[in-house]
């Protein structure tokens, strides 16, 4: 349809967003963490940071990567060996000879932080802990975790096993896109089915924020003497999703609740894109003088409260169309911008079929009209 236009001058309407009165934001948290980060997951916007690029030990938050890699594998039955359960610390109670699925091991990692489950999955997938650690590091590189290095699948202390709050937040944002991962780490309790012995065991999630924090949808705890208390959490309210990370934090539960309350108080959802566009365009040489223009509902996006008034809506359409115009053909676009950054874009379509207007005049009438004569 664009090829039929003689004049390709884009008409643009810029409409400023409606006025909004910002609510009073919560005080910016201080906290006791050695490193901390709070991000909005839609675009990774940083809302709070403290030593976020400083490499630190991560303890069992390591299992975010371990569980994710296990869940990305085809599910299959695993027979537990003595080698797999040689792990100190937290455990899901595996014994040699137990049989359960690979994905059930991930459930044990994300609920009770089973070191035995992490080691069992690593050996089942790659044959050894070191080979699996190499897999973890390859995936970290793929995800852009530039300051992360894995040595153990469980997160037990090892030289060189470290990450940053920024990398952990990036990893959690990605992991939460996996529906099974999100379901497991967001469940206060999980039931794990064993083939041998034939039984179902129920595990309670170590993440207290699932019950303490409004809107908490997941997270991962961690602790070693060297790393201190480590915690990653995700929460969602009114369509806005946040991820918080603290490393070496003796008061992590309270600090995460303060971080989340601060973040949600700072943001609001800009919902104007959810209203479908409706308008019309002139048509030359058509069976009707105008064609209706329709748009689809777009996705709302988070903005800081003071940003809402700066959002621009841009309607890009040609000044007119030539017939024929086919219903459903794209004829323009609608976009929303904030400070020069495009936030979302939706196509605009012709809402009806416009055919070429039929000229019923005789040959001589057309000649006369051409010369400006009246017959």
> Per-domain residue ranges for the chain?
2-20+272-350, 35-250
- Active site includes 113? yes
Distance from the Cα of residue 19 to its chain's centroid: 28
**Nearest-CA neighbor of 185 among 78, 266, 112?**
112
Query: Rounded to whole angstroms, what are the CA distances from 84 to 30, 251, 324, 347?
Result: 41, 33, 70, 53
At 374 the pLDDT is 66
What is the overall mean pLDDT for the chain? Answer: 91
DSSP character for 146? T
In terms of pLDDT, which residue wins out, 240 or 359? 240
Distance CA(203)–CA(188), nearest Å, equals 9
Catalytic residue among 3, 18, 30, 60, which?
60
The domain made up of 35-250 has a fold known as Beta-lactamase (3.40.710)
Catalytic residue among 90, 113, 187, 233, which?
113
At 26 the pLDDT is 59
The answer to whether residues 27 and 250 touch, using CB atoms and an 8 Å cutoff, is no
- Active site includes 60? yes
* Structural tokens at position 114: 């089973």
User: Looking at the domain covering 2-20+272-350, what would its CATH class be?
Assistant: mainly beta
C-alpha angle 364-368-370 in degrees, rounded to nearest 5? 115
Strands (E), the chain: 11-16, 35-40, 45-50, 77-79, 99-101, 189-196, 199-204, 216-224, 228-237, 240-247, 267-270, 278-284, 290-295, 301-304, 311-317, 321-322, 330-338, 341-350
* pLDDT confidence bin for 361, thresholds 50/70/90: low
Per-residue pLDDT for 7 more than 80? no
* pLDDT tens string 319-357: 999 999 999 999 999 999 999 999 999 999 999 999 998
């Amino acid at each position: 349809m664009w090829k039929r236009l003689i004049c390709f001058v884009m008409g643009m309407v810029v409409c400023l967003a409606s006025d909004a009165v910002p609510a009073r934001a919560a005080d910016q948290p201080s906290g006791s963490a050695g490193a901390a980060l709070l991000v909005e997951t839609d675009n990774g916007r940083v809302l709070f940071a403290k030593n976020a690029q400083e490499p630190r030990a991560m303890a069992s938050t390591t299992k975010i990567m371990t569980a994710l890699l296990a869940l990305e594998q085809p599910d299959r039955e695993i027979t537990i060996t003595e080698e797999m359960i040689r792990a100190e610390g937290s455990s899901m109670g595996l014994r040699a000879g137990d049989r359960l699925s690979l994905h059930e091991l991930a459930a044990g990692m994300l609920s009770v932080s089973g070191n035995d489950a992490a080691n069992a999955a690593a050996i089942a997938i790659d044959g050894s802990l070191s080979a699996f650690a190499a897999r973890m590091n390859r995936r970290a590189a793929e995800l852009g975790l530039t300051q992360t290095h894995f040595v153990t699948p469980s997160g037990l202390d090892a030289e060189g096993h470290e990450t940053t709050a920024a990398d952990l937040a990036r990893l959690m944002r990605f992991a939460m896109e996996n529906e099974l991962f999100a379901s497991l780490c967001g469940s206060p309790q999980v039931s794990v089915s064993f083939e041998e012995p034939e039984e179902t065991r129920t595990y309670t999630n170590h993440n207290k924020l699932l019950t303490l924090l409004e809107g908490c949808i997941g997270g991962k705890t961690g602790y070693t003497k060297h790393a201190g208390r480590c915690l990653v959490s995700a929460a969602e309210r009114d369509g806005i999703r946040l991820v918080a990370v603290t490393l070496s934090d003796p008061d992590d539960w309270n600090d995460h609740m303060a971080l989340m309350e601060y973040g949600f108080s700072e943001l609001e959802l800009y919902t104007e894109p959810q209203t479908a566009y409706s308008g019309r365009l002139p048509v030359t040489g058509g069976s009707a003088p105008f064609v209706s223009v329709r748009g689809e509902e777009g996705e709302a996006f988070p903005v800081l409260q003071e940003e809402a008034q700066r959002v621009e809506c841009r309607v890009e359409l040609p000044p007119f169309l030539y017939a024929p115009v086919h219903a459903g053909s794209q004829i323009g676009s609608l976009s929303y911008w904030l400070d020069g950054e495009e936030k979302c874009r939706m196509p605009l379509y012709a809402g009806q079929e416009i055919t070429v207007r039929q000229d019923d005049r005789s040959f001589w009438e057309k000649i006369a009209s051409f010369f400006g004569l009246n017959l």
